[in-house]
Chains A and B, each alone.
Chain A
Amino acid sequence: MFGASWAQAEATSISEETIDICLSGLDRESDKRVCVGLAAQNCAQAGALGACLDAEIDYWDARLSAGFGMALDRAQGKDSDAESLALEPRDQAGALRAAQESWKAYRSATCAFEQTLWETGAATSPESQGCHLYLTAEQTFYLEAVALIE
C-alpha cells in the first residue's frame, strides 16, 4: 500500500531533462515536435498516463509563459526604439498580445473539435490532453524563436 502510493506520487512528475536532451540533440532542420510527449510516456511506465500528460502540459504551459515574456520584452524594446528614433509607431507589443490571445482561442477551439471525434468526448481523455500538449509546445517553439530574432 505504501509502495503503491509512493509510486503514484513519483509518477506524476516528469523528467525535464528528457525534453532538454531530446531538443539539444536536434539539428536546425529537425521537427522539434518529436521531443514532445516523450517525458509523459516515460513517466507513464510507472504511473497513470493522465497524470503524466498533465505534468508535461504544466511544463509546457510554464515554458510558454516564459517564451511569451521573452517575446514581449523584445517587442517592447523595439517599440521604445521606434519611439526614441521618431520612427513610425509599430505597437509590436500590442500585436503580440493580440496574436497570443487569438492563439489561445484557436487552441481551445481546435482541441474542442478534436474532443468531439473521440468516443468518450471527455476533456480528460489522453487524446484531448495530447492536443493541448502539442499545440502548447508548438506555440512555445514559435515564441522562443521569435524572441531570439535580432
Chain B
Amino acid sequence: MWKILAFAAGVGTGTAVLADEQAGFTSVATETCLIAMVESQNPTSCIGASANLCMETTEGGWSTYGMSQCLDQELQYWDGRLNAAYKTVRTKRKASDTEMAELGSAAPSQGDALKNMQRAWIAYRDATCDYERSQWGGGTGGGPATVSCLMYMTAEQALYLEADGLVD
C-alpha cells in the first residue's frame, strides 16, 4: 500500500522508454510494466506508470491541474478493469452458489460474501483517501493527492479481483 508515498516520490519507474512515444494519456506504460513482471516482483509497482508518463509528455503536465488530469485518466483505466474483474468474479461465484444449492449444501453464499467485501472495500477506499486528503489541509496538493490515492487503491483492488484463485 504505497498510495501516499508513491505520490510524494513522483513514481518515476518504468516510464522512460516510452517517453517520446506519445503526448497525453495512454495506458501502454502500465500494461508494458505489468507484462514484464516476474513472480518475485509486485505488480502494484506498475500502478501510476501511465499517469506519470502523461505528466512528462503533456504540456503543463506537472501543474496541479495537469497532474490531476493524468492521474484521473489512469484512475478511469483501473476503474474499468476493476468493474470488469468484479463482474467476472461475481458470475463465477454465483454459479458456484447455484451448484452448491443444487447439491443441498448449506454453505454460505460466495456471491453475498463478495458483495459485502466490495462494499466494505468502497468504504475503506473512501475513508483512506479522505485521510490522505487531510494531510494537505486546504492546500492545492489535496486534489492530485486524493486522485492518486483513489488510483492506487482502485488498481490494487482490480489486481486482487483479477487473481486466478477467485475465479477457479
Residues of A bordering B, CB below 8 Å: 29-31, 33-34, 75, 78, 82, 87-88, 90-92, 95-96, 98-99, 101-103, 105-106, 108-110, 112-113, 115-117, 121, 138-139, 141-142, 145-146, 149
Contacts and interface: CB of A to CB of B under 8 A. Distances in A.
A113 B121 contact: no
Contacts of B138: 87-88
Contacts of B133: 95
Given A113-B110, A113-B113, A117-B110, A99 B127 contact: yes
Interface in B84-125: 107-110, 113-114, 116-117, 119-121, 123-124
B32 interface: no
A110 B45 contact: no
Contacts of A99: 124, 127-128, 130-131
Nearest to A74: B135
A141 B5 CA distance: 11
Given A91-B134, A98-B131, A113 B109 contact: no
Contact of A116 (B4, B108, B121, B126): B108
Contact of A90 (B110, B117, B126, B137): B137
B166 interface: yes
Contacts, number: 100
Nearest to B126: A102
Contact of B4 (A30, A75, A106, A146): A146
B165 A117 contact: yes
B31 to A, nearest CB: 19
B78 to A, nearest CB: 18
A109 B117 CA distance: 5
Nearest to A138: B1
A109 B110 contact: no
Contacts of A139: 1
Secondary structure call for the A interface: helix
Interface string B1-26: 11111001000010000000000000
Secondary structure call for the B interface: helix
Interface in B47-82: none
Contacts of A98: 127, 130-131
Contacts of A117: 110, 165-166
Q: Which of A91, A106, A138 has the most CB of B within 10 A?
A: A106
Nearest to B133: A95
Nearest to B129: A99
B41 A105 contact: no
Nearest to A71: B131
B113 A33 contact: no
